[in-house]
Structure 1
Amino acid sequence: SSKLGVENVGELIGLLHDFGKFSTAFQVYLGSATGKINPDEDEYVEFKKLKGKIDHSSAGAQWIWEKLQNRGKQGELVGQILALCIASHHSGLIDCLKPEGEDGFTKRIKKEDEKTHKQECVQNAPQDYLKKLESLSDQKLIEDVLKQIKIIFESEKGKPPGMITFFYLGFWTRMLFSCLIDADRINSADFEDPENGEHRNIAIDWSTPIFRLEQFIDQLKGEKPIDQLRRNISNTCKQRAKEQQGIYTLTVPTGGGKTYASLRYALHHAEHHKLDHIIYIIPFTSIIEQNAAALRKAIEDKNDDYPWILEQHSNLEPEQQNWHSKLVSENWDAPIIMTTMVQFLEVLFSGGTRGARKTHQLANSVLIFDEIQTLPINCTHLFCNALNFLTQYCKTTAVLCTATQPLLDQLKTPDKGQLTIPAENELVKDVPKLFDDLKRVEVSNKVRSEGWTSEQIAELALDELKELGSCLIIVNTKSWAQQLYQTLDNQIDECSLFQLSTSLCPAHRKTILKEVRERLDNDLPVICVSTQLIEAGVDIDFSSVIRFLAGLDSIAQAAGRCNRNGLHDMATIHIVNPVEEKIDLLKDIKIGRDKAQRVFDEGFQDLLAPDAIKQYFNYYFYDRSDEMTYPVSKKSILKRDDNLLSLLSDNSNNIGRKTPLLLKQSFMSAGKIFKAIDSPTQAVIVPYSEEGKYIIAELCRVAIEFDAKTYRQLLKQAQKFSVNVFPNVWQRLMDEKAVCEIQGEGIYFLKDEYYSEQFGLSDKPCNPMPFMGF
């Protein structure tokens, strides 16, 4: 809570959150569970049946509410914020207003004493503890909170508080809630494993990775024109790192060296402003490992006392956390964190406690967004408001990196929240000239009314292979990747053909990419068929690319996998439109494709230049502005048409909005509805290679006799062997009995016969030899 400038508030809610445990009912439950009360004694209770059923979170919330609610409107607001955090510490933030209009906060606060045991807790609690509570809940507490919140209200410049002000108030509450959850979980983890504490809160000396990075950059001695351009970009980022905090853009063409340039900026900026973390937000899990390896190569040493970089690949934490999974979940307590946009958005907006636990770590940090254009369209206003809050009130800096900068500061409905980015906050000078200097690829528009068959696309790829030695084909769907691979399979040497999709686990993709790179480096023939996972930031260099028609931002990313190091004067990306491409359900790709076609028809001289990209985003964002508030239909738990921006701000569509309470948000309902991708995915550990099979077997063994430390290490290793599947595929796997749960932990593994060497996870058996994890 020191990050929010309210240490005393953190101490108070920390003391109060388990106040209900002073009740006789809870003490008897605890005594029975720990063996202090013998089963033969009259007091003994069946503790397993009572787990989670004795309310111990309401008493503390009631105590602070009663203490502060009578101290005017200001005391009432502070009381509501603190009581919300305490009452919610097991469930995630509760609804102040429930969807049907009921005042959920007041209902919880007025819960009967026979269920909350507040009076009994006051009687049973030690006197020195109660005195501490009294001394902390004084007028200074209200003033300290108001000092922070007042800045939010002042941003309205005299106008009545509107939607964005209430969003900020709700987000400030989530930050405080995050501090409480993290402290509570750390306390539990340290009790289970006292060694944990030794590696926490180590003072970060940014000069160490800075020194190593500068040495590493000095050794990069490329002499080609592109190498000099990359050095110039990197040097500019270093020079500008000492400027004030805020939101910056880094608009650099693909292959311009953004990874090291942004790291250089972030390290120098973190040192100058004394920041706690650098957090990289990457579009896909598929490139986390590659980027983390590049960063480690530059700044880590095998003799370091602790790793500088923490990777988070997938949601291998179960949806509903039990005691075990709470102990093993990460809290982003590392200097440099690499995560995905999906997980970042869940940290901002998801329900429950798993994502919220990490939210406070975003304060006092540098956030580097790689390929910011991949932000889901329905999260646009939510994201903009959260990022404005973090950069304006939490000592956070954000850098939006991409070759195709979306217009997040020029939205159609700015009153719902758009980014505040001053024009001078573009880190590189003269972006159009930079794009011209770095131009290495031209677009060949081969779209035709009759479309392209699988055989015709294969023929084009084989022609490119014959002439240039390598070709990458990027498709929009896994089914087309499989179809093209099978079409090419009979026409090319087996060791020259590769397929990549997210049905392969990260370790499998890494093996394939390594082999592809080796063949490219040795001028051996390669055709690789891939879904769009290869577009964003994968460091690979083909002589030619064929791209299925998609959004212009995707086409620009695909072009970055071609002639990446300027080995040819100019290379070509061929745009084709396949026949019978079933993408009606892939709305982002379908609309992107249509808007790209519109830009194609306008005859831009260079389709990858900033002016063409800007026109594309004008069309794309303008037509989709009504989707940007995260719309929710009446089929949802709300039973009405609404949106998450409203639910997390003033809740203006809720019939109970006239309640006198200042916070009216439906936090829990919004959290249940929120998913960073339209279909929530389920992570499955797959039996790829001997290592993957060994990890599955070990997880099954360790789960029986729970060993938190080993389990945590195995789950980290398992991230490289996990595949995220959509609900329809998950259901088919369940119907096939293709997945097994590990000892009721909410973690699943795939049976051996459902994973193939060519295509990865399948919902039909593809291997004859089953592997059993036990």
Structure 2
Amino acid sequence: MINGHQGAVQQNDSKQAIAHAKRGSGGDGAWAPPHDLEAHLRAVAELAGAAARRFNASDWAHLAGLWHDLGKYRPRFQNYIRQVSGFEADAHIKGEAGKAPHSTAGALLACDTFKEAGRVLAYLIAGHHAGLDDWHGGLEARLALPASRAELDEALAAKPPATILDPGAFKLDLRAIPGGSTGFALWVRMLFSCLVDADFLDTEAYMDPDKAAVRVGWPDIPTLLDKFDRHMADMAAKAPPTPVNRLRADVLRQCRAEAMATPGLFSLTVPTGGGKTLSSLAFALEHARKHGKHRIIHVIPYTSIIEQTADIFRGIFGDAVIEHHSNAEADPARENHQSRLACENWDAPIVVTTNVQFFESLFAARTSRCRKLHNIVDSVVVLDEAQLLPPEFLQPILDVLNLLTQHYGVTVVLSTATQPALSTRAYFDAKQNLRGLENVREIVADPDALYRALERVKVRLPADWQSPTDWDTLARELGGFESVLAIVNRRNDARELWQRMPEGSLHLSALMCGAHRSQVIASIKARLKTGIPTRVISTQLVEAGVDVDFPVVYRALAGLDSIAQAAGRCNREGQMARGQVVVFVAPKPAPPGLLRKGENACKSTLYGVEGNPLDRPLFAHYFERLYHACDLDEHDIASLLKVDGKTLACNFRTAAEKFKLIQDEDSTLIIVRYRGPDGADDSVDKWLSTLRKDGPQRWLMRKLQRYTVNIHSREALKLLEQGDIEETMPGLYAQVSDWLYDPDLGLNPNGIPLKPTNTIA
């Protein structure tokens, strides 16, 4: 028996094969004309084929588009969509295949038609809702199920148009895969990206045409370059003619000139404070205009500094910039509808994102993560602070960067003050199965001369590398300076040292929420500018994009790159002949893991060095020692993604699960009640009340994100048991006890009320 709304859909054409259905916009509950299945398949094929044309794989993506929803011809699906119309729109967003599976039929047809070579198409088609699967234990078993064969048989029995089923003269030539067996996984993910983005876009054009209409109309690269030139001319007119500013202008000039070079891999090696951010952007824009690149992707190591970089870019380019990272939920003050949509597939001309978002997407299996990948093709990628690429994932990262530059028209810029040894032949040797970057060209003509010209500090190393300085001694020494910055390796170290400092000293660590840190950093800058004595104790977070300028900086022994970053916070503008940087041995060594390895590599590199410890050639030696102490493919990603040449077996899903730059399984986010510098701001209380009443909303979660602190799960459990925090919604916790968040120190995870002693007058 046909119910009312089923009949409403069928009244258009009872024999028409439907891809999607929706209610009309009239508000009377009537059904709009359905989305014709054949039209959908052809549209997706055209869109996917056009996207893949840029890496010479148009035929593959076109055929995947034609067959991706072949299973929708089966009567079971057609009956279902007439009964529960519109369910498919949600399936695209949620990564679900709905109650009537349809994504296996086309995959099986590809294998039947093209044998082993058809498995490439099978990965794409079978995964277009649920994501790319492993072959063994995943897709192979799924294709062998009787239900999968029945899905294809039923779809073919419904007699789809012959022009849909016919692959034409297309021949699957696996010899054309860019990068061969090493490049197979990236190539499949690129094809997958073309398919799923095309499917999303055509589905959206039917289900939500207003949303689809917002996606058009980005300014082109020449227009953005004109805006940039005007901004830089304005900056140059206002900049005082100091030696540092003259050097920055020369770096900018060299970046513009070198942008005419052929695409590929570049390094931009400029000391901290040398103007890398805007100079690298100048290179990217000029290079994109010269070589027809489609967008600039600026990749930053930390979410803590991405917003300020995106704000700088927005000040120049307006809404042509999107920022995309784990915390980038919609905030009406920062984003518009178009920018939110652009985060889905990176079709904006300037994208600012994080290492986590960029690299995890390149190794992803989920549709939502992979969707943007084809828009990395023919782009300029700037890797800011390239020395912070995680060593335990370095080999697969270098492999994918080589593939992108050699086969996908990508130009990569490694921008850093401390260039890591990523292409040093002495270290990255194929005989040891260590593969470095190929043919990296330096943008600056004479980096060594630039480093000498920008030498603004004198570095004092420990007299005895084995003798720690206790906190009391260090605090007395620091108290002798009117303005000084001391950087330590642990959050607890920052607390212990700060407690011994003179009254009025400031503290910075990740136990303070983002809003609190921003307020303290603004206060530091204001005090330094007006000459007010300013003593600051900080963890290494101050080394990441926080542009402060102290006459004296103390740094606990750490990696050589960290010491260089600390030195970049000393005499930054060259107001003194030489700033003073003091390296000391802390009472406790750096925490085990990468920080400890960096500390050991630094000691090994600097032992016996009599000249400048920050001489540029020393960094290559340091990074070689650091990488030697690390497994550069700790999670065996390269092996997981190396395809079996006969079966085309590849472990897409397992590799994606293991490629996690931040292992956050053992940490918990706490929303804290930071009340502003005057203690009177009750915004968090109001937002938490809204959260309890209305549930999570994008704008609300973005607001609260600035008031979160990340702590170890065992510490969070203790606070929960004591009643100091509460679970406001599953997996989300908020501060209850007033004393838990200190206005100077931030969150106290030990669960014991703590007040600073400030024992030194």
If the TM-score is normalised by the length of the shorter chain, which range does it land in? Answer: 0.7 to 0.9
Tell me the residue number matched to 1:139.
169
In 1, Cα distance between the equivalents of 2:152 and 2:216?
35
On the 8 A contact 1:280/1:338 being kept in 2, the answer is: yes
Aligned residue among 554, 569, 573 for 2:562? 554
2:617 aligned to which of 604, 608, 611 = 611
CA distance in 2, matches of 1:766, 1:92: 46
Residue 418 of structure 2 contacts residue 616 of structure 2 at CA under 8 Å; is this kept in 1? yes
Q: Which has the higher contact order (CA 8 A, sep 6+)?
A: 1
Match of 2:406 among 375, 380, 392: 392
Q: Could you tell me which residue of structure 2 aligns to residue 323 of structure 1? A: none
- The reply to whether residue 214 of structure 1 matches residue 229 of structure 2 is yes
Which letter maps to 2:543?
Answer: E
Paired amino acid for 1:477: R
Is residue 654 of structure 2 the alignment partner of residue 669 of structure 1?
yes
Report how far residue 257 of structure 1 moved: 0.5
Mapped contact 2:178–2:187 kept (Cα < 8 A): no
- Aligned pairs for 1:359-398 within 5 A: 359-398=373-412
Q: How high is the TM-score relative to the length of structure 2?
A: 0.81
1:699 Cα offset (Å): 5.3
CA distance in 1, matches of 2:456, 2:554: 15
1:463 aligns with 2:463: no
User: Which residue of structure 2 lines up, in the alignment, with residue 509 of structure 1?
Assistant: 517
Matches within 5 A, 1:669-748: 669-680=654-665, 688=674, 690-698=682-690, 703=695, 711-717=697-703, 719-725=705-711, 727-729=713-715, 738=725, 740=727, 742=729, 748=732
Once the two structures are TM-superposed, the CA of residue 166 in structure 1 deviates from its matched residue by: 1.7
Q: Give the corresponding residue for 1:640.
A: none
Q: Matched residue pairs, number?
A: 670
Q: Work out whether residues 589 and 596 of structure 2, in 8 Å CA contact, stay in contact via their aligned partners in 1.
A: no
Q: Does 1:436 align with 2:452?
A: yes
Q: Which residue of 2 aligns with 1:18?
A: 69
Q: Which moved more, 1:192-201 or 1:429-438?
A: 192-201
Letter in 2 for 1:498: L
Structure 2 counterparts to residues 567-582 of structure 1, below 5 A: 567-581=575-589
Q: CA deviation at 1:485?
A: 2.2
Cα distance between partner residues in 2 of 1:554 and 1:310: 29
CA shift in 2, pair 1:443/1:252, >3 Å: same
1:472 aligns with 2:498: no
Give the stretch that moved more between structures: 384-393 or 211-220. Answer: 211-220
Query: How big is the shift at 1:344?
Result: 1.8
Per-residue deviation, 1:403: 1.1
Q: 1:361 to 1:716 in 2, by over 3 A?
A: farther
Q: Does the CA contact (< 8 Å) of 1:316 and 1:719 recur in 2? A: no
Given the superposition, is the C-alpha separation of residues 592 and 17 from structure 1 closer, same or farther in structure 2, using an over 3 Å criterion? same
SS in 1 for 2:348: coil
Is the contact made by 1:315 and 1:682 (CA closer than 8 Å) also made in structure 2? no
Question: Mapping of 1:170-319 within 5 angstroms?
Answer: 170-187=185-202, 193-219=208-234, 220=236, 221-297=239-315, 299-301=316-318, 307-314=319-326
SS in 1 for 2:605: helix
Is 2:692–2:728's contact at 8 Å kept on the other side of the alignment? no
Contiguous gaps of at least 5 residues in structure 2: 1-50, 88-93, 330-339, 676-681, 755-761
Partner of 1:758: 744
SS at match of 1:97: helix
Asked if residue 451 in structure 1 is aligned to residue 457 in structure 2, the reply is: no
Instruction: After superposing the two structures, state which structure 1 stretch, 478-487 or 758-767, moved more.
Output: 758-767
1:458-517 CA-to-partner distances (Å, cap 9, x unmatched) read 11221123xxxx2111111111122222222xx223xxx222223333333222211111
**What is the distance in 1 between the residues matched to 2:374 and 2:267?**
23
CA contact (8 A) 2:342 2:348 kept: no
The corresponding residue for 2:42 is none
Q: Is 1:598 the counterpart of 2:598 in the alignment? A: no
Q: Matched residue of 1:168: which SS?
A: helix
Contact 1:20 1:59 (C-alpha < 8 Å) held by counterparts: yes
AA of the residue aligned to 2:473: Q
State the alpha-carbon separation in 2 of the partners of residues 442 and 271 from structure 1.
Answer: 41
Alignment-derived partner of residue 321 in structure 1: none
> Conserved in 2, the CA contact under 8 Å of 1:545 and 1:561?
yes
Q: AA paired with 2:113?
A: K
Deviations 1:308-364 (A, max 9, x none): 2212343578xxxxxxxx999733332211122122221122443343233222211
Identity over the aligned pairs, expressed in percent? Answer: 32
Task: Look up the SS of the partner of 2:531 in the other structure.
Answer: coil
* Structure 2 SS opposite 1:502: coil
Q: Deviations along 1:241-285, whole A, 9 cap, x unmatched?
A: 122110100001111000110111111111222222211111111
Taking structure 1 as reference, are residues 421 and 464 closer, same or farther at Cα in structure 2, changes over 3 Å only? farther
Q: CA deviation at 1:391?
A: 0.7
Look up the equivalent residue of 1:480 and give its one-letter code. D
Distance 2:525 2:749 in 1: 30
Residue 616 to residue 294, structure 1, CA distance change in 2 (3 Å): same
Q: Displacement, 1:123?
A: 2.9
Paired residue secondary structure (2:178): helix
Q: Which residue number corresponds to residue 67 of structure 1?
A: 113
Runs (5+) with no aligned partner, structure 1: 37-47, 70-75, 99-103, 154-164, 302-306, 318-325, 632-642, 651-656, 705-710, 769-774
The structure-2 alpha-carbon separation of the partners of 1:454 and 1:767, relative to structure 1 and needing over 3 Å to count, comes to closer
**Contact 1:188/1:327 (8 A) holds in 2:** no
Displacement of 1:766 after TM fit?
A: 8.5
Distance 2:406 2:67 in 1: 30
